[in-house]
């Protein structure tokens, strides 16, 4: 079973490279561990994900505003947020082979998720000995004592090297929102409850990244900080859990059975949180966190008020009272959602042969929701010359104004279909002699129409060329 599971991820990684979705980073220089570059189709897929999220969580809502804050922030931000003091993992070295591991991960592999929650480093060291944890690489059972390893990347700012110029690359986008709370209140004046949404890169110097793009040191986040009146946070917490889950299933078409909501236990909760859940997905390597939804109370704004001495209050005119708002935060990684959509869409399908003397065929297909798919349609002329080609190119140019579409005239129509299936292209548009109304045995009623073949059902229908744009808009928006 475990082997089959690893193969499923391997097949996906290889498809991603072969078809230009995701390449290993810095490959011509022998790579850079666990970095990945998004190729032509991967970056299109990523853009679609971000656009859909932004539309759903920001622009289509009257109660959420957008923000784009800096990656480099004053180091005091990370003092206030607790990242300087607490944002670290327990790290151990194997004394035999020198490989470095996260102690909590080693224990979780044997004892299950959350087994080190609330344990201090001394207790973790004892657990490693008691449970006879062995090095995954060399099988030795001799580790160093766990020590704290801060996950923030450091760099120098300005031309002069030396003390005082050190800055961190942000480990989350959320703090950029909190430190702009006052700016937004004073200048844009929204009424509570309201949220601020942001998409941006974050960096964490993970000790053990892995599982393809599941855990990387450089990643992109989509976060909303939703500010509400103290006492209403439980209701909003419930609301956002449902809202996020509905978006995955209804708008992006993620398989419902492969999603679950896991509520954190009391021991797992951060000291400031009064409720945290993970939406988890059944990845090829097991259940993993996709989306964290956390009720963070007034912790962050209070911390910034204490550190900066600048009031972080909201004045509610209707009730004539001042308070520091509570916050509910749905926090999602773009790359991780992209992996979910790839894993969920990937299928090797057996196509039954209609002729019993011939063997069954297979096809690799990415069953993306049309709204997510990088290529929306491919225009395929049945012959690559004359009026058929001319008409196909006209259609291609017209559709390019609104959609990312491809034109392909090489090899047989069957091979072209397979290529598009692998990219997850939902519609293939075939231009033939019937379209132009010229040639032997053409059906005059089909003049000015094309064949549209749907990826999943492989069913075909004739659509008038003049209706094509509208037809595509309608079918891409379907849910």
- Binding footprint of Zn ion on the chain (CB under 5 A): 94, 96-97, 135, 137-138, 140
Give the nearest distance from C-beta 20 to Zn ion in angstroms: 37
- Measured from the CB atom, is 135 or 366 closer to Zn ion? 135
CA 355/CA 352 separation, integer angstroms? 9
- Kindly give the pairing relationship between strand 286-297 and strand 314-316: unpaired
Q: Is 426 helix (H, G, I), strand (E, B) or coil?
A: coil
Give the nearest distance from C-beta 93 to Zn ion in angstroms: 9
CA 267/CA 273 separation, integer angstroms? 11
- Measured from the CB atom, is 97 or 129 closer to Zn ion? 97
Of residues 334, 451, 426, 452, the one with CA closest to residue 374: 426
Q: In this structure, are residues 146 and 124 in contact, taking their beta carbons and an 8 Å threshold?
A: yes
Beta-bridged to residue 15, according to DSSP, are none
- Measured from the CB atom, is 140 or 157 closer to Zn ion? 140
Give the nearest distance from C-beta 147 to Zn ion in angstroms: 17
- Measured from the CB atom, is 143 or 291 closer to Zn ion? 143
Give the nearest distance from C-beta 66 to Zn ion in angstroms: 47
- Measured from the CB atom, is 140 or 310 closer to Zn ion? 140
H helices of 19-95, in order, are 40-54, 75-81, 83-86
Of residues 75, 211, 95, the one with CA closest to residue 150: 75
For residue 457, count other CB atoms closer than 10 A to its CB.
Answer: 7
Q: Is 179 helix (H, G, I), strand (E, B) or coil?
A: coil
- Measured from the CB atom, is 82 or 136 closer to Zn ion? 136
Give the nearest distance from C-beta 96 to Zn ion in angstroms: 5
Give the nearest distance from C-beta 140 to Zn ion in angstroms: 5
- Measured from the CB atom, is 137 or 154 closer to Zn ion? 137
- Measured from the CB atom, is 122 or 137 closer to Zn ion? 137
What are the phi and psi torsion angles at 182 (to 5°)? -65, -40
Beta-bridged to residue 168, according to DSSP, are 154
Give the nearest distance from C-beta 139 to Zn ion in angstroms: 7
What are the residues whose beta carbons fall under 8 Å from the beta carbon of 134, sequence distance 6 or more?
A: 140, 141
Q: SS3 letters for 376-430? A: CEEEEECCCCHHHHHHHHHHHHHHHCCCCEEECCCCCHHHHHHHHHHHCCCEEEE
H helices of 1-74, in order, are 2-18, 40-54
Give the nearest distance from C-beta 137 to Zn ion in angstroms: 5
């Amino acid at each position: 079973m475990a082997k089959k599971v690893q193969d499923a991820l391997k097949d996906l990684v290889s498809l991603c490279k072969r078809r230009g979705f995701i390449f290993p980073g810095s490959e011509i220089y022998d790579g850079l561990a666990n970095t990945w570059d998004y190729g032509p189709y991967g970056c299109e897929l990523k853009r679609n994900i971000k656009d859909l999220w932004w539309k759903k969580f920001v622009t289509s809502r009257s109660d959420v505003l957008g923000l784009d804050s800096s990656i480099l922030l004053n180091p005091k931000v990370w003092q206030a947020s607790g990242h300087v003091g607490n944002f670290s993992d327990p790290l151990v070295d194997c004394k035999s082979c020198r490989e470095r591991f996260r102690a909590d991960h080693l224990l979780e592999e044997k004892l299950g998720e959350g087994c080190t929650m609330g344990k201090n480093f001394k207790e973790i060291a004892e657990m490693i000995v008691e449970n006879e944890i062995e090095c995954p690489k060399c099988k030795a059972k001799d580790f160093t004592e766990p020590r704290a390893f801060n996950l923030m990347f450091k760099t120098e700012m300005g031309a002069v090297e030396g003390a005082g110029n050190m800055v961190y690359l942000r480990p989350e986008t959320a703090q950029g929102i909190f430190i702009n709370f006052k700016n937004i209140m004073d200048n844009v004046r929204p009424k509570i409850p309201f949220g601020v949404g942001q998409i941006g890169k974050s960096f964490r110097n993970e000790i053990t990244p892995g599982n393809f793009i599941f855990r990387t040191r450089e990643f992109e986040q989509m976060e909303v900080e939703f500010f509400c009146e103290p006492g209403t946070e439980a209701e909003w917490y419930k609301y956002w859990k449902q809202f996020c889950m509905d978006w995955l299933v209804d708008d992006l078409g993620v398989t419902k059975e492969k999603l679950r909501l896991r509520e954190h236990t009391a021991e797992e909760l951060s000291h400031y949180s009064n409720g945290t859940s993970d939406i988890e997905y059944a990845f090829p390597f097991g259940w993993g966190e996709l989306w964290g939804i956390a009720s963070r109370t007034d912790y962050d704004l209070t911390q910034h008020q204490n550190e900066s001495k600048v009031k972080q209050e909201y004045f509610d005119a209707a009730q004539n009272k001042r308070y520091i708002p509570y916050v509910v935060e749905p926090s999602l990684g773009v790359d991780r959602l992209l992996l979910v959509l790839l894993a969920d869409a990937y299928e090797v399908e057996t196509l039954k042969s209609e002729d019993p003397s011939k063997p069954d065929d297979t096809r690799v297909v990415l069953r993306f929701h049309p709204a997510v798919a990088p290529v929306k349609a491919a225009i395929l002329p049945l012959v690559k010359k004359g009026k058929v080609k001319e008409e196909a190119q006209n259609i291609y140019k017209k559709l390019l104004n609104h959609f990312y579409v491809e034109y392909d005239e090489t090899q047989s129509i069957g091979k072209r279909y397979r290529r598009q299936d692998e990219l997850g292209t939902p519609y293939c548009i075939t231009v033939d002699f019937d379209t132009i109304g010229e040639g032997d045995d053409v059906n005059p009623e089909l003049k000015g129409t094309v064949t549209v073949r749907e990826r999943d059902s492989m069913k075909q229908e004739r659509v008038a060329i003049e209706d094509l744009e509208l037809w595509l808009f309608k079918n891409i928006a379907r849910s």
